[in-house]
Amino acid sequence: MCLPEKKIMDKFIVEGGNRLEGELEISGAKNAALPMMAASILTTGVNKFSGIPQVRDVNTMLHLLNHLGGRTEDFNEDRLLFDTTHINNYEASYDLVSTMRASCLVLGPLLARLGRAKVSLPGGCAIGARPLDLHIRGLELMGAKIRLEQGYIYGEVKRLRGTRYYFDTVSVTGTANLLMAATLAEGETILENVAKEPEVVFLADVLNQCGAKIKGQGTDTLVIQGVQSLEPIDCHIFPDRIEAGTYMIASAITGGNVKINNCLPRQVETLTLKLRQAGMIVEETETSVRVISDGSFNGVNIKTQPYPGFATDLQAQFMALMTLAQGQSIILETIFENRFMHAAELKRMGADITLQGRTAIVNGVKRLSGAPLMATDLRASASLVLAALAAEGESVISRVYHIDRGYFNIEEKLYRLGAKIRRKK
């Protein structure tokens, strides 16, 4: 059973200029759910998940896992029961991997479980080349024979064995892939310069609950003692920090007063500091953040970095905010080489942005005006929605299927806060 696909040609019609006010609930984290679902391949039995966000990428992963021989027992609201007893197919086809790069997360688990994998190379995407060389090199060091042929990664191994591996670049899914593979490998694996994102820490913690022996999560080095088998997963996915951050900026850019519930404030701490620096009031409890803005704020600089640095997944949304700041903001994108696609669209709304390589210089303007806009990737699309909420007049945002990949019911959540936004089928 899969989620219904939202129509590919859907548009958002946004009438800007309304202050957002009220409360909303954050959904489960997409980027925590996807690796957890892929990790179910390492187990045999019925895996239980709650807090699964009903977004298109989750749908794609579920489709892939069913294709591999798994069975969706139940998928209702945010609860998923998934049986991995009969996983026997080892191919992740181009169709699936090209629509969602995170499909590559099945590579490590398939090699660990079946000793074979055929996973399509994802190719470049809207935000950069995004190769998989770090994943491949690590798996080779673990004894897998890998060849690249006709756009596919073919992997084969009798049983993966422990190794010592240093990531030249910090990679989130690279860390997840090798971590999952190492849980069932023979002997000890040491992974260095790993990602410390909450999604990776969570993956390690849940795998430990299933019987894995992983130490060091949240530090630069992971040490994994391989085990023979893992128990099925039973976990609750934590709230999406990028979704929370997006609504924090929505409140800020509209001069709003929004309380964001079901969120972990420490995971958005870097954004909170930047919003305060810009002049917002940000109030925190254990599980909520409130952003209060009077609509006038200063330009501040940001530099995207691996966690706990400023998240690249919030860069586009923050740029939208900075277009209306007083003064200048310098935005440095260090993670992806081409993650400024939204800048051209924001400029069409009247923003003053100059791009110089990986740097964007944003000079705040007094107002943005609504325009027909084109969404190019998930977070870029979110930034256009935010800009449209603050702009004068109407914006029509096409290709919102990008947004549906990672935001559950964004238009409804915004509408309930007072935004004038509707989906046109």
Sign of the torsion formed by the C-alpha atoms of 368, 373, 379 and 382: positive
Task: CB nearer to ligand EPZ: give 67 or 101.
Answer: 101
Tokens of 70: 């798994």
Rule CB under 6 A: choose which of 20, 29, 33, 34 binds ligand EPZ.
Answer: 34
Rule CB under 6 A: choose which of 51, 302, 406, 419 binds ligand EPZ.
Answer: 406
CA-nearest of 42, 95, 29, 46 to 67 is 95
**Contacts to ligand EPZ from residues 296-315, by CB under 6 A:** 312-313
Tokens of 49: 């998940």
CB of 177 to ligand EPZ, least distance (A): 9
Rule CB under 6 A: choose which of 31, 59, 183, 189 binds ligand EPZ.
Answer: 31
Q: Is 174 in the site for ligand EPZ (CB under 6 A)?
A: yes
CB of 49 to ligand EPZ, least distance (A): 16
CA-nearest of 309, 253, 319 to 280 is 253
CB of 200 to ligand EPZ, least distance (A): 9
Rule CB under 6 A: choose which of 92, 107, 134, 400 binds ligand EPZ.
Answer: 134
Which of 125, 210, 235, 263 is labelled catalytic?
Answer: 125
**Contacts to ligand EPZ from residues 205-244, by CB under 6 A:** none
By CB under 6 A, which span of 12-20, 39-47, 85-93, 128-136 interacts with ligand EPZ?
A: 128-136
Q: Is 148 in the site for ligand EPZ (CB under 6 A)?
A: no
Among this protein's residues, is 125 annotated catalytic? yes
Rule CB under 6 A: choose which of 85, 88, 169, 296 binds ligand EPZ.
Answer: 169
Tokens of 26: 């954050």
CA-nearest of 22, 76, 84 to 51 is 76
Task: CB nearer to ligand EPZ: give 162 or 174.
Answer: 174
Q: Is 336 in the site for ligand EPZ (CB under 6 A)?
A: yes
Tokens of 238: 């934590």
Task: CB nearer to ligand EPZ: give 42 or 134.
Answer: 134
Rule CB under 6 A: choose which of 17, 69, 115, 131 binds ligand EPZ.
Answer: 131
By CB under 6 A, which span of 48-56, 112-120, 133-141, 247-255 interacts with ligand EPZ?
A: 133-141
CB of 195 to ligand EPZ, least distance (A): 6
Q: Is 171 in the site for ligand EPZ (CB under 6 A)?
A: yes
Rule CB under 6 A: choose which of 33, 64, 80, 132 binds ligand EPZ.
Answer: 132
CA-nearest of 237, 240, 315, 327 to 271 is 315
Q: Is 362 in the site for ligand EPZ (CB under 6 A)?
A: no
Number of residues that bind ligand EPZ (CB under 6 A): 23
By CB under 6 A, which span of 38-46, 124-132, 347-355, 395-403 interacts with ligand EPZ?
A: 124-132
Mapping DSSP onto H, E and C, the string for the chain reads CCCCCCCCCCEEEEECCCCCEEEEECCECHHHHHHHHHHHHHECCEEEEECCCCCHHHHHHHHHHHHCCCEEEEEECCEEEEECCCCCCCEECHHHHHHCHHHHHHHHHHHHHHCEEEEECCCCECCECCCCHHHHHHHHHCCCEEEEECCEEEEECCCCECCEEECCCCCHHHHHHHHHHHHCCECEEEEECCCCCHHHHHHHHHHHHCCCEEECCCCCEEEEECCCCECCCEEECCECHHHHHHHHHHHHHCCCEEEEECCCHHHHHHHHHHHHHHCCEEEECCCEEEEECCCCCECCCEEECCCCCECHHHHHHHHHHHCCCECEEEEECCCCCCCCHHHHHHHHCCCEEEEECCEEEEECCCCCECCEEECCCHHHHHHHHHHHHHCECEEEEECCHHHHCCCCCHHHHHHHCCCEEEEEC
Q: Is 331 in the site for ligand EPZ (CB under 6 A)?
A: no
Q: Is 173 in the site for ligand EPZ (CB under 6 A)?
A: yes
Task: CB nearer to ligand EPZ: give 195 or 224.
Answer: 195
Q: Is 135 in the site for ligand EPZ (CB under 6 A)?
A: yes
Rule CB under 6 A: choose which of 314, 335, 373, 417 binds ligand EPZ.
Answer: 335
**Contacts to ligand EPZ from residues 258-297, by CB under 6 A:** none
Task: CB nearer to ligand EPZ: give 82 or 336.
Answer: 336
CB of 384 to ligand EPZ, least distance (A): 14
Say how far apart CA 64 and CA 55 lie, in whole Å. 15
Q: Where do contacts with ligand EPZ occur on this chain (CB under 6 A)?
A: 31, 34, 101-102, 128, 130-135, 169, 171-174, 312-313, 335-336, 378-379, 406
**What residues act catalytically?**
125
